[in-house]
A = this chain, B = another copy of it.
Amino acid sequence: MVSGYNVIERLHSIVDARRLLERGLRRVAPSEEVVGIDNALGRVSSRDVYSPMDVPPHDRSVLDGYAARWRDISTASEEAPAVLRVKGRIEIDDPSTYEIGPGESYEVATGSPMPRGADVVVPIEHASPQDGLVYVYKPFPGGYGVSTRGEDLKQGEKVLERGDLVSEWHVGVLASIGVGGVSVWSRLSVGIVSTGQELIEPGEEYRQGKVYASTGRLAASYLRARGVDARYLGVLPDDEAVIRGFILDNVGKFDVIMTTGGTSVGKKDAAIRALASVAEDLIHGLALTPGRPGAIGIVHGKPVMALSGMPVAAISELIAVWDPVYRSLLGRSRPWEPVLKARMARQYSSHPGMVNVVRTRTCIGPRGLIAEPLRVTGSGILSTLVKANSILIVPEDVTGIEEGEEVEVLLTGHLEVCMG
């Protein structure tokens, strides 16, 4: 036994871990800011947005042609064309105050407001104008070529929800209803450092006994893909004083500090001892697999997460502890990933009393989706994050899942058709 903190006395429930993280995160909670829609792609909306208007705001033509009454052209043929009087032309930016009566029409362009009384547009290719008249040789169904008021969006319809990641489609819809700026959450800043004597940086030559530092980078890019301003700051040695110095120096510069590695109970597990020595509050040891050695501390009121050094364990800690708290802060109820219902391909025994984060391969079978838990030894198996296309979170009170039982998985990759 070395002196100082290095024992996981008991495992803490994920609920307690989330609660402690939330206490810290509430202090650094993101604020709202308004950004122009041209800069909103990939930001997280902080408010519901409703359409202030009907789209289109009036019936309009979706073709170049002649606006007419369906009754007047419903029996038109090559032999007996309908003949309509052309009252003039309605341009796209004309007001919607025109009107036609029986036997009348207006020339319209794509986007022109429909004249009152008209309920069909005869395409220009099927109409012959001559001497103020137009000849129609073919009938068209009522409503043909017309987009009706509010058909696209009704006034008051929700177009963006609090907590939505703003997509390219949202940008288009917001522009079309005249919304030039949108309220989004400021980005939380997270500073991430890897710890470990054995770590070398990618690009350096491989040496016996060394390991390339990947977990800190993986955590940083996981967070960045979910709207966080995460910065990877490099590697620190297994030195309690150095890591403590890093935490104290940076706790003022970032909203959140994360370390990876050195959270277990080995002699060199300096990160957890450094955190324990300065934390006002600490939870170490999570009822989570993988991710058991993770820790959450509060330093100067701010949250510090000591993530596992094993990449998959670190991601598991982010998925099970960080993400629900972060999402609730943003008012987002759904996970970032699509949630799919699937049936288990085989029986799965979970670690009792622990939240299990299970990498699964979900595919489309003849009778719906099938989720197959991947057989993996340890939490170091980084490639399974790419090979798996989904994640199953098994709550602590579930001891096992039967073959064929329905589960919900988070889709992290591409769905494919089941083989064989």
* Chain A residues packing against B (C-beta within 8 Å): 37-38, 41, 52-53, 55-57, 60, 62, 64, 89, 91-96, 109-111, 113, 124, 143, 145-148, 151-153, 157, 159, 167-181, 196-198, 200-204, 206, 208-215, 217-218, 220-222, 224-225, 232, 264-268, 293, 309-311, 338, 340-341, 364-369, 377-386, 411-412, 414-415, 417
Most B CB contacts (10 A, CB to CB) among A111, A172, A212, A224 go to A172
How many angstroms from the CA of A38 to the CA of B365 in the assembled complex? 38
The answer to whether B382 and A152 touch across the interface, beta carbons within 8 angstroms, is yes
Chain B contacts for A109, CB-based, 8 A: 264, 266-268
Please give the distance in Å from A81's CB to the nearest CB on chain B: 21
Chain B contacts for A232, CB-based, 8 A: 38
The answer to whether B168 and A225 touch across the interface, beta carbons within 8 angstroms, is yes
Please give the distance in Å from A404's CB to the nearest CB on chain B: 14
A interface: dominant SS: loop
- With A147-B377, A217-B38, A265-B64 known to touch, is A53 a contact of B206 (CB < 8 Å)? yes
5 A–B contact pairs at CB < 8 A? Answer: A41-B225, A92-B268, A159-B386, A168-B218, A180-B203
The answer to whether B41 and A341 touch across the interface, beta carbons within 8 angstroms, is no
The answer to whether B208 and A179 touch across the interface, beta carbons within 8 angstroms, is no
How many angstroms from the CA of A31 to the CA of B386 in the assembled complex? 27
Q: CB-nearest residue of chain B relative to A369?
A: B364
Q: CB-nearest residue of chain B relative to A182?
A: B202
How many angstroms from the CA of A57 to the CA of B386 in the assembled complex? 19
Most B CB contacts (10 A, CB to CB) among A197, A201, A206, A378 go to A378
B124, B152, B200, B377: the one contacting A383 at CB < 8 Å is B152
Chain B contacts for A38, CB-based, 8 A: 217, 220, 232
How many angstroms from the CA of A205 to the CA of B36 in the assembled complex? 16
The 8 closest A-B pairs by CB, nearest first: A180-B203, A172-B218, A62-B378, A175-B214, A93-B198, A168-B221, A176-B214, A180-B202
How many angstroms from the CA of A293 to the CA of B63 in the assembled complex? 11
The answer to whether A178 and B152 touch across the interface, beta carbons within 8 angstroms, is no
How many angstroms from the CA of A110 to the CA of B308 in the assembled complex? 10
The answer to whether A202 and B218 touch across the interface, beta carbons within 8 angstroms, is no
How many angstroms from the CA of A232 to the CA of B96 in the assembled complex? 30
Known: A93-B211, A172-B214, A175-B212. 17 other contacts (CB 8 A): A38-B217, A56-B380, A64-B264, A64-B265, A96-B208, A151-B381, A152-B383, A152-B384, A153-B382, A172-B311, A173-B385, A174-B202, A177-B212, A178-B203, A178-B212, A341-B417, A411-B415
Please give the distance in Å from A202's CB to the nearest CB on chain B: 4
Chain B contacts for A224, CB-based, 8 A: 41, 168
How many angstroms from the CA of A384 to the CA of B147 in the assembled complex? 13
Please give the distance in Å from A378's CB to the nearest CB on chain B: 3
B95, B204, B341, B381: the one contacting A178 at CB < 8 Å is B204
- With A173-B214, A175-B213 known to touch, is A367 a contact of B369 (CB < 8 Å)? no
How many angstroms from the CA of A203 to the CA of B414 in the assembled complex? 38
B89, B175, B338: the one contacting A415 at CB < 8 Å is B338
The answer to whether A172 and B92 touch across the interface, beta carbons within 8 angstroms, is no
The answer to whether A380 and B170 touch across the interface, beta carbons within 8 angstroms, is no
The answer to whether B110 and A266 touch across the interface, beta carbons within 8 angstroms, is yes
Chain B contacts for A169, CB-based, 8 A: 218, 385-386, 412
Please give the distance in Å from A89's CB to the nearest CB on chain B: 8
